[in-house]
Structure 1
Amino acid sequence: MNTLHKNTGEGGPWDGFLHRPTPTLEAVAHRHRPHLEGRRILVTGASGSIGSALFHTLTLAAADPIPLDLAGPTPTDVTDPDALDRIFSLHRPEIVLHAAARKHVPEGETTPFAVLATNALGTRTLATVAARHAVRHLLLVSTDKAADPVSLMGASKRIAELILLASPRTHAVRLANVLGSSASVVPTFLAQISQGGPVTVTHPDARRYFMTLPETVDSILTALHLPGLLAPDPGPPIRILDLARHLIAQSPHPETPITFTTLRPGDKLQETLLAADETLTENPGFPLRTIHTPTPQPDLSQLEDSILRHDLPQLLDAVQSLVPRYRPSQLLRNQLTQAVPA
C-alpha cells in the first residue's frame, strides 16, 4: 500500500530511490557498539533530525548519550560558554557530536547574524569548552554546502570546519542532503503531495547528493576513527525533479502536478562535494574519504565584532576574509544598501 511515511529515514517513500543497499539504524548501532558501549557521548542538536537519530542509535549501542539542545528538558545554547561548562562538568562527556546548527539555506540569507552566531561562534565556544574539559573527540557535522559556498549558511559551516580543524582532537564530516531530515526538501514535497499539489521544484536540472538518515549516522560514527575533514561517497548527484516524481509515484496521489519556480538566493544548481582547491584520498578499510583542504587559522575577531554591532557590511567582509571563494547572494547585496550599523 502506498502511504506517506513519517520522516524517520527508514521505511519512507524514498526506499530504493538511491539504488543502493542502505542500512537500518539498528544495523548501524550493532556495527559500532564495540567502540561505543558505556561511552559518555554528548549530542548537540539532539532534538533535530540528525541529532535524534544519533541519540537513538547511541542508545541502541548501549552508549551513555547526553542530549544538548535548545528544545530539550534543560535548554542549552551552544553559544553560552557558562551553560556549556556546567553541562560538561556535570556529565563529563568523552565524545561530543556537534549536530546543532541553523541548517536552512534561506535562513542564512534573511537572518545572517543568527546563523553566523550559532554555526561559527557557537562552534568555537563548544570547541573551547570541550578542550578545557579534556574531551577525547569533538566531531562536527558539516555539509557539502560548505564546499565553495554560495549561501551564507554554507559559508558559516565552512568557518566551523576551519575552527574544528585548527583545534586538537577534532574531526569533521561533510555530509550530503539527508533524505527526510527537517532541513531537506522531502518533508516539503510530502506536505505538498498530501494537499494535492502542486509540488514545487526550483529548476528542472537542479541536482543534489543524497543520503539516508542511517547512512548519515554511520558516517558520523565512523568519522570518530579518522582524523581531519572527511566525506562519505553519496553516489552520483540526483535531480530534485526525479525525487519529486519518485515521491509522487509512491503516494496515493500519483497525478499530483509539478511546477517549476526558481533557484532561491544561496542555492546552487548542482552541489559539489569538494571546493576547487580541495582533493580527496581514500582510507582503506573505511567508507569515508579524507578531504585535503586549506586550513588557515581562523581569526574570528572581525566576525564577532560585526555580530555584536549588527553590522551587515562588516559581517560580509569578515565572512569573505575567512572564506575567500564566498560571494554574497543578490538578496544580501540588496540588504547592504539598507544596512545601518547599530
Structure 2
Amino acid sequence: MSLRKRALIIGAGEAGSMVVKQLIQSNEAEFYPIGFVDDDHKKQKLEVSGFPVLGRRTDIPNIVKKYDISTIIVAIPSAPKSQIKEIVHICKQTKAHIQILPRLQDLIHGRISVKEIRGVDVKDLLGRDMVKHRIDQLNNYLQDRVVLVTGAGGSIGSELAYQVAQCDPKMVLLLGHGENSIQKTETKLNESMPRVTTVSLIVDIQDQMLIDDVFNRFRPEVVFHAAAHKHVPLMEKNEVAAIKNNVFGTKIVAEAADRYEVKRFVFISTDKAVNPVNIMGMTKRLGELLIQQLAAKSSTKFSIVRFGNVLESRGSVVPIFKRQIAMGGPVTVTHPDMVRYFMTIPEAVQLVLEAGSLSSGGEIFVLNMGEPVKIVDLAKTLIRLSGYEPDYDIKIEYTGIRPGEKLSESLFYNDERSIPSKHPDISIASTMSINYTQFQRELKKLEVSLKNSSDDFRNTLLRIIQNVSSTRV
C-alpha cells in the first residue's frame, strides 16, 4: 500500500464499490482507496466495501487536505456531463490528480474495470450529453441506401462514415483526395463493422469527370458533403485553392447530385460563413448560396448544417495545446478575449444525421452549440487536467489575432431568425431572399477571374455575398 497513490473515490454506488474491490484485489493497481465521497445523505458516515463515506462533494477540498489524497477517481459512469463538470470544478480546487471511469456506454457490456480508469478529458467538460439516435427516423433515409461521404478522411467525414455505417446502409462510399486518410477510415469501418460494404474512392471534388463517374456507377441516394479546405490562416494565403475547392468543388458535387436524382444532400457549413471576414468563411457562404439555389429547383432534398468548432479536429486548438503542454509550454493563445463555440465530433455528426432526416429541402439547420468558451479558459483547463498550474508550471503567451480571425463567431446573420425544429438541439435559420440570376452571373465571372491569380478575390467574394443577399423571407 505504501507505494500506491492515496485515492478518494467519488461515488459510493455500484461502480465505486466495484472499483474499490478491484483496487484492493489487484497487485498491479497504482491506487489505494482511502474512502468515498457521495451526495446521498443516507450514505454519510457509513462504510461501503469496508471504506468510509467521508462526506459530500462540497467537502472534497477539505478531505483531500486532511487525508493527503493524491488522486481523485470519479466513479459515476451514469452521471450526465453537467454533473461531471461540477465535480471536476470542485476537484480542481485541490492539487490532487483527477481520474475518471468512462461512461456506461463506453464500457463493454457494462463491465467496470480499473483498467478503464483514465484522465479527465476536455470532452468530459465541454461536450453535451449525447442523445440517442431516433433510429426509426434515421433508418427511413439511411437503411439499405447507398450513402456517399465526401471528405471521408477528415475529422467530420470519417465520423460521418462511421455513424452512417451503424444505420445498416447498403453501401458507404468513402470519397476523398488523400489516400492515407481514406484508407484509415476504410480500415476502421472494416474492422468495426465488417458486414457493411465500403468503397474507397480517391477523387478530387474539382474533377467533374471523375465525380460524374462516381454518381453514374454507384448511384448514391444520400450524400454528405464534408470535403472542404477549412484552415483559416492557410486559406488566407491560398485564396484560389479555397475558391476552387470550397465553391466550385461543391458546385460540381451538388449539381451531380441534382442530375442523378439523389434523394438527400447535406452540405456541412460553418459559423465562419456568417458575416465572413476570412476567405474560408466567404467560400463556405458561397457554398450555402449554391445549395439553396439548387434546392429551389431540384427534386433532391438539399439542406445545409451550420455549426462551430469541433474538439480535437485537425488544426483545432485542443491538439495544438496538448502538444505544447507535452513540450513544457508555452501554450499560445491569440487573444485573451477570443471565444468560440465548441462541440465534440461525435455529437456534431449525430446532429448532422438528425438534421438530414428532418429536411424537406432548402433549410439551413443550425446546431445548438451551447455557450461560447473563452480560448484562454480552455487552455487553462487543459493545463490543469495535465497536472500543471497555468502561468506557474506552464506559461500562457498571447500571440495576437491571426489573419482572417474574429474575436467571436455567430451562428445566425442579423437578418436570420432562429426557428425551432422537431429536434431540441437543432434550429432552422430563416432564409434570406437571394437574387439567383445575379448569383449565377457572378459565379461565372468568378470562375473566369480565377485564371488571373492577381485579382482581388477577397473583395470579389464579399461583393458577391453582399449583392445577392437581401432581406429575410
Common fold by TM > 0.5: yes
User: Is the CA contact (8 Å cut-off) linking 2:332 and 2:398 kept in structure 1?
Assistant: yes
Q: 2-side partners of 1:19 and 1:92: how far apart? A: 36
Residue 31 and residue 187 in structure 1: after superposition, are their counterparts in 2 closer, same or farther (change >3 A)? farther
- 1:330 maps to none
Matched, 1:112 2:239: yes
Bigger Cα displacement from structure 2, 57-66 vs 260-269? 57-66
**Paired letter, 1:304:** E
Residue 55 and residue 284 in structure 1: after superposition, are their counterparts in 2 closer, same or farther (change >3 A)? closer
SS of corresponding position for 2:205: coil
1:89 CA displacement: 1.4
**Paired letter, 2:235:** G
SS of corresponding position for 1:82: helix
1:33 CA displacement: 5.0
Spell out the pairing of 1:1-342 with structure 2 (5 A cutoff): 13-18=121-126, 20-22=128-130, 27-28=132-133, 34-35=139-140, 36-63=142-169, 64-72=171-179, 74-167=201-294, 168=298, 169-224=301-356, 225-226=358-359, 227=361, 228-254=363-389, 255-294=393-432, 295-297=434-436, 298-299=439-440, 300-313=443-456, 315-324=457-466
Could you tell me which runs of 5 or more consecutive residues in structure 1 were left unpaired when the two chains were aligned: 4-9, 326-342
**Paired letter, 1:291:** A
User: Is the CA contact (8 Å cut-off) linking 2:138 and 2:354 kept in structure 1?
Assistant: no
| CA displacement, residues 8-66 of structure 1 (integer Å, 9 cap, x when unaligned) | xx99721332273235xxx5496765232221110000000000011111122222211
Q: 2-side partners of 1:135 and 1:81: how far apart? A: 17
Q: 1-side partners of 2:266 and 2:124: how far apart? A: 30
**Paired letter, 2:305:** V
Could you tell me which runs of 5 or more consecutive residues in structure 2 were left unpaired when the two chains were aligned: 1-96, 100-105, 107-117, 180-199, 468-473
Q: 1-side partners of 2:288 and 2:230: how far apart? A: 14
SS of corresponding position for 2:206: coil
User: Is the CA contact (8 Å cut-off) linking 1:32 and 1:61 kept in structure 2?
Assistant: no
User: Is the CA contact (8 Å cut-off) linking 1:28 and 1:57 kept in structure 2?
Assistant: no
1:312 CA displacement: 2.4
**Paired letter, 2:176:** D
1:165 CA displacement: 0.6
Root-mean-square deviation (CA), in Å? Answer: 2.2
Q: 1-side partners of 2:258 and 2:238: how far apart? A: 30
- 1:335 maps to none
Query: What TM-score results when the alignment is normalised by the length of structure 2?
Result: 0.63
1:136 CA displacement: 0.8
Q: 1-side partners of 2:248 and 2:98: how far apart? A: 44
Residue 307 and residue 150 in structure 1: after superposition, are their counterparts in 2 closer, same or farther (change >3 A)? same
Bigger Cα displacement from structure 2, 105-114 vs 253-262? 253-262
Q: 1-side partners of 2:127 and 2:279: how far apart? A: 32
Q: 1-side partners of 2:217 and 2:395: how far apart? A: 53
Larger radius of gyration: 2
SS of corresponding position for 1:115: helix
**Paired letter, 2:123:** D
User: Is the CA contact (8 Å cut-off) linking 2:123 and 2:311 kept in structure 1?
Assistant: no
User: Is the CA contact (8 Å cut-off) linking 2:267 and 2:305 kept in structure 1?
Assistant: yes
1:274 CA displacement: 1.2
Q: 2-side partners of 1:180 and 1:309: how far apart? A: 37
Bigger Cα displacement from structure 2, 155-164 vs 59-68? 59-68
- 1:333 maps to none
Residue 251 and residue 259 in structure 1: after superposition, are their counterparts in 2 closer, same or farther (change >3 A)? same
**Paired letter, 2:289:** L
Work out the number of aligned pairs and report it: 315
Q: 2-side partners of 1:129 and 1:51: how far apart? A: 19
| CA displacement, residues 76-111 of structure 1 (integer Å, 9 cap, x when unaligned) | 011111000111112110011000000011122100
Structure 1 outlier segments of 4+, above 6 Å: none
Bigger Cα displacement from structure 2, 253-262 vs 112-121? 253-262
User: Is the CA contact (8 Å cut-off) linking 1:29 and 1:57 kept in structure 2?
Assistant: no
Q: 2-side partners of 1:263 and 1:180: how far apart? A: 21
State the percentage of identical aligned residues.
36
Q: 2-side partners of 1:323 and 1:151: how far apart? A: 13
Bigger Cα displacement from structure 2, 133-142 vs 254-263? 254-263
Q: 1-side partners of 2:320 and 2:127: how far apart? A: 23
Residue 180 and residue 30 in structure 1: after superposition, are their counterparts in 2 closer, same or farther (change >3 A)? farther
- 2:28 maps to none
Q: 2-side partners of 1:235 and 1:308: how far apart? A: 42
